Amino acid sequence: MTDPPPDPVEPSHQRVSELMALVGTREPAVSEGFTPGLVGRARTQHAIVVPLRALGIFLTALAGAVAGALGSDDRGPQA
């Protein structure tokens, strides 16, 4: 008994399969400056994220204070 014929493969799926096979057979070339550049970008991002996080916390607290001062809450009108 023979297996049923496989479903026809669309050209896009065939091309993706070929590209994935090609990617799996070659090791990517890495330049000498890759690691120092990557470490430098990570340090820059870390240096920026700390002040931005503090600014976000401050702005959230400020918005809460302004909302409290204006009396805008979700409880609706008080009787």
The string of pLDDT tens digits covering residues 8-19 is 778 888 899 888
Question: pLDDT at position 1, please?
Answer: 58
Which pLDDT value is given to residue 20?
Answer: 87
Q: What percent of the chain has pLDDT over 70?
A: 87
Burial class (CB in 10 A: 0-12, 13-18, 19+), 8: exposed
- Residue 11's pLDDT is what? 87
* pLDDT in the model for residue 74: 59
Residues lower than pLDDT 70 in the chain: 1, 72-79
Report the pLDDT value the prediction gives residue 73, as an integer from 0 to 100: 54
